[in-house]
């Protein structure tokens, strides 16, 4: 049926009556931001907040979105002049739909390296932002080091105009800016990586140290003088839009939109106020500018993201499919409460202006939102990268204080037990190594060591190496011998 409907574009925009339309003329919007990784999350989060900024058009804060290798987003957005709809729902049948015009173009990095480097080094580009997921930085997160041997990084290190890896693209852009005498630029890392701005700066510095170009020293000095890397925290639950969901929404909206994104209504972006040359006048409801991100990011990564991970592995072992579905299982809800208590106890400092009790209630109702279907297997992906920062950090602050971290231990054990189920196909950059570790035999403690030991696949800090890893092995033994119903009984 959607083939008969007109497709969203600048030509058809004036006919849209079922969704709010941009408050400015998208055709005249100039570009001031280049975003690496224009997936659903960016479109529903940073691009939506920038679209709503009152000076988006006057100050030229349009976004050139970059997709790395797949052309899927290009095919979805270019025929629509990069217009797309964000649908937000808080449960029930009510929805709020908005057409956004803040994306001005979509570039395909693999086939358009020159256009990419030109956009990154354009004098009008004042912000370069990234959402490429934890694995997209080609870094060992535990030691915060660039994987100089990874194929894309290695090729970029040998190239005077690097453009294949994310860090190579940034450095290629900086070199172009230095050449053109372009102004400085702010880099915003918008992934769930603690102190992601500091990480990206360190990775760029490491790249420059290994770069074969004779310009490496000159560009390094330009970067230290002209580039800011404030840390940020991003928060909005954005499940991928399923075909069935897209079809139902198309019917309600009355036009075809192949780039539509659905998300929850809640959205928050916290950014350290350290910009090289300005930023959009984002609404204070959307964006908080702060001095130090650390307390914000610890609260969110531990309570929300850690809670998500716990629900995903326990829920999958219990045969469930979505986050809102597991929230209706009474014992899992109680387990989430136990996690929220544990994660709260681990916090060293609370963010200024955040009411923790309200934030906690919000997490529970956001997870229970049945207006969005967030699949547990999506949250379960990339556990080897996600778990140390969400759950390992919680456990290490608790254990350093002499406290226990039982729910953290159970979460890690549930991940391993989920991974070893016969039907599981792990979506994780370390899937091969994890498969080998699972196949190596030797009992639960040995497996836990291969995963989380100091030289393991997802190494945890020294303070967790003894007692805590024993707790993970004990929880794994319980799951192996008595299954997930043992935990259900414990929480009854």
Closer residue to ligand CS2, CB minimum distance, 414 or 447: 414
User: Of 235 and 258, which has the nearer Cβ to ligand CS2?
Assistant: 235
Give the nearest distance from C-beta 367 to ligand CS2 in angstroms: 10
For 319, residues 6+ apart whose C-beta sits below 8 A from its C-beta are none
> How many CA atoms lie less than 13 Å away from 237 in the CB half-sphere?
30
Residue located via tokens 């956009």: 119
CA dist., res. 322 & res. 115, Å (int): 40
Q: Is 154 left (phi over 0), alpha (psi -120 to 50) or beta?
A: alpha
Of the pair 178, 412, the CB lying nearest ligand CS2 is at: 412
- CB of residue 92 to ligand CS2, shortest distance in Å: 21
In the structure encoding, which two tokens stand for residue 435, read together? 């498969």
CB of 429 to ligand CS2, least distance (A): 14
Q: Which residues pair with 129 in a beta bridge?
A: 35, 188
> Which residue's beta carbon is nearest to the bound ligand CS2?
308
Closer to ligand CS2 by Cβ: residue 263 or 416: 263
Cα–Cα dist 304/288, whole Å: 18
Provide, rounded to whole angstroms, the least separation between the CB of residue 267 and ligand CS2.
9
Residue-wise over 204-238: b if at least 16 C-beta within 10 A, else e? bebbbeebebeebeebbebbeebbbbbbbbbbbbb
Output 237 or 343, the one with its CB closest to ligand CS2. 237
* Cβ proximity to ligand CS2, 36 vs 323, nearer residue: 323
What is the C-alpha separation between 296 and 399, in angstroms, rounded? Answer: 21
Residue appearing with tokens 């780039």: 259
| Contacts for 408 with CB less than 8 Å, ≥ 6 apart | 306, 339, 342, 391, 392, 394, 395, 398, 468
E runs forming strands in 154-292: 185-189, 227-228, 232-235, 261-263, 268-272, 287-290
Nearer to ligand CS2, 200 or 379 (CB): 379
| Listed residue (414, 394, 379) closest to 464, CA to CA | 394
CB of 395 to ligand CS2, least distance (A): 17
- Report the nearest approach of ligand CS2 to the CB of residue 132 (Å): 13
Q: Token pair of 50, please?
A: 């920038």
Q: Which residue, 186 or 232, is less far from ligand CS2 as judged by CB?
A: 232
Residue 382 or residue 397: which is nearer to ligand CS2 going by CB? 382
CB of 303 to ligand CS2, least distance (A): 11
- CB closer to ligand CS2 out of 88 and 305: 305
| Rounded least distance, CB 82 to ligand CS2, Å | 24
Phi/psi of residue 158, each to 5°?
Answer: -95, 5
Residue (of 300, 174, 306) closest to 232 by Cα position: 300
CB atoms < 10 A from the CB of 325, how many? 19
Extract the tokens encoding 272: 């350290």
Instruction: Tell me which residues touch ligand CS2 (CB under 6 A).
Output: 192, 235-237, 305, 308, 378-379, 386
Instruction: Evaluate whether 415 touches 313 at the Cβ level (below 8 Å).
Output: yes
Nearer to ligand CS2 by C-beta: 67 or 192? Answer: 192
Question: At its nearest, how many Å lie between ligand CS2 and the CB of residue 234?
Answer: 6
In the complex, minimum distance from the CB of residue 121 to ligand CS2, in angstroms, rounded to a whole number? 31
Distance separating alpha carbons of residues 42 and 107, to the nearest angstrom? 15
CB of 133 to ligand CS2, least distance (A): 9
């Amino acid at each position: 049926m959607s083939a008969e409907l007109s497709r969203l574009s600048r030509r058809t925009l004036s006919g849209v009556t079922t969704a709010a339309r941009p408050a400015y003329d998208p055709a005249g919007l100039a570009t001031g931001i280049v975003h690496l990784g224009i997936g659903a999350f960016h479109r529903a989060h940073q691009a939506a907040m920038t679209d709503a900024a009152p000076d988006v058009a006057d100050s030229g804060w349009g976004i050139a979105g970059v997709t790395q290798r797949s052309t899927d987003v290009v095919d979805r957005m270019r025929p629509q002049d990069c217009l797309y709809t964000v649908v937000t729902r808080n449960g029930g049948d009510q929805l709020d739909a908005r057409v956004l015009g803040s994306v001005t173009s979509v570039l395909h990095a693999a086939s358009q390296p020159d256009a990419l480097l030109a956009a990154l080094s354009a004098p009008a580009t004042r912000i370069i932002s990234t959402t490429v997921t934890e694995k997209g930085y080609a870094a060992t997160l535990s030691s915060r080091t660039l994987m100089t041997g990874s194929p894309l990084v290695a090729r970029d290190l040998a190239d005077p105009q690097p453009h294949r890896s994310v860090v190579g693209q940034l450095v290629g852009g900086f070199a172009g800016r230095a050449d053109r005498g372009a102004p400085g630029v702010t880099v915003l890392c918008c992934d769930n990586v603690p102190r992601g701005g500091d990480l990206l700066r360190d990775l760029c510095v490491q790249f420059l140290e290994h770069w074969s170009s004779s310009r490496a020293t000159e560009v390094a000095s330009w970067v230290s003088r002209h580039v800011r890397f404030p840390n940020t925290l991003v928060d909005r639950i954005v499940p991928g839009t399923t075909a069935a969901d897209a079809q139902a929404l198309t019917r309600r909206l009355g036009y075809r939109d192949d780039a539509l994104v659905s998300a929850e209504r809640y959205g928050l972006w916290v950014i350290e106020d350290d910009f090289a040359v300005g930023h959009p006048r984002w609404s204070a409801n959307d964006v908080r500018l702060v001095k130090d991100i650390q307390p914000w990011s610890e609260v969110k990564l531990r309570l929300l993201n850690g809670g998500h991970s716990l629900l995903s592995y326990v829920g999958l072992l219990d045969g469930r499919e979505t986050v809102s579905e597991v929230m209706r299982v009474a014992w899992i809800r109680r387990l989430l409460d136990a996690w929220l208590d544990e994660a709260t106890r681990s916090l060293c400092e609370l963010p200024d202006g955040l009411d923790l009790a309200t934030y906690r209630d919000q997490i529970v109702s956001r997870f229970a939102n049945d207006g969005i279907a967030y699949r547990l297997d999506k949250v379960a992906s990339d556990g080897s990268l996600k778990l140390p920062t969400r759950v390992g950090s919680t456990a290490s602050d608790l254990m350093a204080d002499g406290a226990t971290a039982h729910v953290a231990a159970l979460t890690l054990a549930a991940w391993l037990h989920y991974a070893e189920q016969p039907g599981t196909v792990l979506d994780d950059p370390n899937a091969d190594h994890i498969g080998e570790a699972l196949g190596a035999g030797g009992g639960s403690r040995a497996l836990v060591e291969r995963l989380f030991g100091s030289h393991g696949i997802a190494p945890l800090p020294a303070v967790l190496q003894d007692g805590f890893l024993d707790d993970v092995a004990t929880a794994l033994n319980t799951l192996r011998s008595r299954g997930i119903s043992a935990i259900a009984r414990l929480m009854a």
